[in-house]
Amino acid sequence: MYADCEGMPRDPPLPYVHYFHMKKSTCHQETATYLMTIRNPLTRIQSWFNFEKDIVPSRRNKHAENRLRWKRGMIFTECYDNFVDLVAKGIGTIYNLSSTTINGNSNDTYEISSERPINMTCPERALAALLGAREFSYHEWYNYEHYWTALRNRHQKFSDGNNHSQLSALSPSLFVLRTEHLYEDWIGFAKEDLFRHVNKGSRNNNITHVSNLTKDGDNIVSDNDYSSPFWVNLCYAMCPEIQIYKQILQHSNNLNVSQVQESISEVQMMCPKESSNIRSCPGIPQFPLLKVPRKEYIKETKKRLFAIV
């Protein structure tokens, strides 16, 4: 499984190797092993904004092209031209209105009444994007929830908690590559039978150790005061994705307990209120269900967001 398949061999494809990327999946029910690349959700979502905000989609079908540009424009053009404003002015507005609920003083929460983004306020669009509740571009919609929900629907193993000892030997394996620890995780794969052929003859001695890896142009926010409103707002909105991130780590077959905790601790550094265990996310508003025809509903992975017309 590829959460991001750049660099994946295409021509000719490797035998018995399939991929799952955004809408496309060539994986079969009998898939024996999944390989998933993951990244700290907080830096991933910042990278999404900086990477996609200047993309101008081009398609042969001009109607499709115009629609893609229109959807992107609702967040990147009409509302926010930088990630700090999206978090501070967008998420911050809703967080402040929901703060009494978050602190446990009220059963009320911010109510979102508009079904479609075109009728939403900019703060509502910002929250919809970070939650992956509405599609504006690509990587915010095809988030960890998208991939993990698909795996859970296909394999009971990923819905049964993280006790590997009780899982069937026929259940698929999940290998995880953490972007922040790419070298360490990849070297660990050398011990796995599946990857020995790939690693055979590789020049491991020439590989440079990678830590805190980001792509050029990410421009990750450098504010290290994790008690600042920016980080409080971001941690609030990213709470659901963080919980799924923990589940992926905990279900991995190649990471030991200390490595799992290492990656969770990196999130906890940015979000001090975050726990090591899966937790609830108070004060997150619910979005109205998107009404779609049955044919479209069947194709959607995140069915919790949709209703059949």
Mean pLDDT of 29-51: 88
If you average pLDDT over every residue of the chain, what do you get?
82
> What would the DSSP string read from start to end of 226-273?
TTSHHHHHHHHHHHHHHHHHHHHHHH-SS--HHHHHHHHHHHHHH-TT
Tens-place pLDDT, residues 159-190: 655 544 444 556 778 889 999 999 999 888 77
Measure CA of the first residue to CA of the last residue in the chain; give whole Å: 32
Tens-place pLDDT, residues 146-161: 999 988 877 766 765 5
In angstroms, rounded to a whole number, what is the distance separating the alpha carbons of residues 25 and 2? 10
**% of residues, the chain, pLDDT over 90:** 56
What confidence score (pLDDT) does residue 235 get?
Answer: 97
Instruction: Flag whether pLDDT at 32 surpasses 80.
Output: no
Q: At what angle do helices 122-131 and 62-76 cross, to 10 degrees?
A: 110
Tens-place pLDDT, residues 237-281: 999 999 999 999 999 999 999 999 999 999 999 999 999 999 999
Distances (CA, A) of 46 to 160, 204, 215, 230, 254: 31, 31, 12, 12, 27
Radius of gyration of the chain (CA): 20
Joined tokens for residue 85: 């404003």
Tens-place pLDDT, residues 51-75: 999 988 888 889 999 999 999 999 9
Q: Provide the 10 A C-beta neighbour count for residue 62.
A: 9
Residue 64: partners with Cβ closer than 8 Å, 6 or more residues away: none
In angstroms, rounded to a whole number, what is the distance separating the alpha carbons of residues 209 and 109? 46
Nearest Cα to 200, choosing from 210, 189, 209?
189
Tens-place pLDDT, residues 85-139: 999 999 999 999 887 656 555 556 789 999 999 999 999 999 999 999 999 998 9
The single-letter DSSP state of residue 196 is H
Beta-bridge mates of residue 21: 24
What confidence score (pLDDT) does residue 6 get?
Answer: 38
